[in-house]
Amino acid sequence: MAELLRRSTALLPADRRPWAEAVRAEAAEVPAGSRRLTWLAGGLLLTMRQAIVGDGLWYPLAFAAAAGGVAWAAWSGSPHDPAIVIDRVDVIAMAVILAGLSWAARRISGPVAGSRLARLARAGGYAAILALVLVKSAVERVADAPPNNLVGPAVAWTGEAVFLAVMGGYAAVILACTARRSPVVPGTAAIGTALGLTAGILAYALGPLGFPLRFAGVWPAGLYDAAMALGAALAACAPAAAGWVAARRAAPGSRVRQGAMAGLCAGTAAALAVTVLSTATIALLPYDAGLRGWAASHIGHWTSAAGQVTPIEGPRVGYVAGNSAFAAGYLIVLLLSPLAGSALAAARAWGTGRILPRMHQSPATPEEPT
């Protein structure tokens, strides 16, 4: 048992190993027999729990379980169906990319930061990426299946390659912003992410299927138009607010950089939120008659789009909302949102920096980590 405890110590993060060694060293004081065995067993239990719950095995195990679940859900179907082939390649490639980036990030920026927010943001970001892969595969099974697959395989595979590259970029941002040696001041990243999530959920609420909604009455239509205008303004304000907060919290020489990173967090969170939620809603269309009925009566561009395709019962709404040209719109959102967020926030931070005195705003303002 002592030997088992000694060997299992290697599973622990470096800062936890002395504790396992302490238990083992103390065992010499415990009377031999069942009491010493119980003492060592407690040490083994401690090691296992620390290895799983600490920086050791918890995240890899959770990721493996989640990736396995996505693969299982996306795998079924004929290998001769081009949509299924794309799904399978997507799942495998995404799992490899996410695992590889985690390994690289650990060596560059260290493990995840110690705060609960950082752990939550990292787990949530990875969960959102895997969820997007899952719901996207569900949509593509309908949208890319004959006779809906109007684009050729070359365009489809190019789109997938771009999608994988963009998701790799998102994972890199999530890892960098939540790492122990992150260049982002922790509270700033949290505020940017929270503002971005709010903007993303708002964008989804205003257009759950990616199209503007259509309302029959004057008042509902007018209210919706006003909500759209307000939503657009708030969406632009989210990264700007993140930049303002970042500038106030940062040291004078790093305000613009911290602002840009806060905006990057906001744009990333917003794009992921709206894309995952909308794609999930689209994926439900073939299976939910009530949702299809609601969509048919409220999608602003429904009539003209429906006229271009051969009517197909059931999956038709799913196809129109999820066809490759439409999906490219979400890809553009994923590409541009972090960049636009970063630029807006940096501009706001620059403006704020010119107004603020050239000193720290409070004794508690955190220095930028080196």
Pick the stretch among 14-22, 198-206, 249-257, 307-315 that binds other proteins (CB under 8 A).
Answer: 14-22
Our CB check for other proteins shows the closer of 5 and 282 to be 5
Could you say whether residue 25 binds other proteins (CB under 8 A)?
yes
Over the chain, what HEC string results? CHHHHHHHHHHCCCCCHHHHHHHHHHHHHCCCCHHHHHHHHHHHHHHHHHHHHCCCCHHHHHHHHHHHHHHHHHHCCCCCCHHHHHHHHHHHHHHHHHHHHHHHHHHHHCCECCCHHHHHHHHHHHHHHHHHHHHHHHHHHHHCCCCCCCCCHHHHHHHHHHHHHHHHHHHHHHHHHCECCCCCCHHHHHHHHHHHHHHHHHHHHHCCCCCCECCCCHHHHHHHHHHHHHHHHHHHHHHHHHHHHHHHHCCHHHHHHHHHHHHHHHHHHHHHHHHHHHHHHHHHHHHCHHHHHHHHHHECCHHHHHCCCCCCCCCHHHHHHHCHHHHHHHHHHHHHHHHHHHHHHHHHHHHHHHHCCCCCCCCCCCCCCC
Our CB check for other proteins shows the closer of 48 and 236 to be 48
Among 7, 10, 13, 22, the residue binding other proteins under the rule CB under 8 A is: 22
Q: How far is the CB of 21 from other proteins (least distance, A)?
A: 8
Q: How far is the CB of 227 from other proteins (least distance, A)?
A: 43
Q: How far is the CB of 369 from other proteins (least distance, A)?
A: 20
Among 18, 152, 153, 222, the residue binding other proteins under the rule CB under 8 A is: 18
Among 17, 19, 157, 351, the residue binding other proteins under the rule CB under 8 A is: 19
Our CB check for other proteins shows the closer of 32 and 359 to be 32
Pick the stretch among 27-35, 56-64, 180-188, 251-259 that binds other proteins (CB under 8 A).
Answer: 27-35
Q: How far is the CB of 149 from other proteins (least distance, A)?
A: 55
Pick the stretch among 40-48, 79-87, 176-184, 206-214 that binds other proteins (CB under 8 A).
Answer: 40-48
The 191-220 site mask, x for binding other proteins (CB under 8 A), equals: ------------------------------
Could you say whether residue 118 binds other proteins (CB under 8 A)?
no
Task: Using CB under 8 A, list all residues that contact other proteins.
Answer: 16, 18-19, 21-26, 28-30, 38-43, 45-46, 49-50
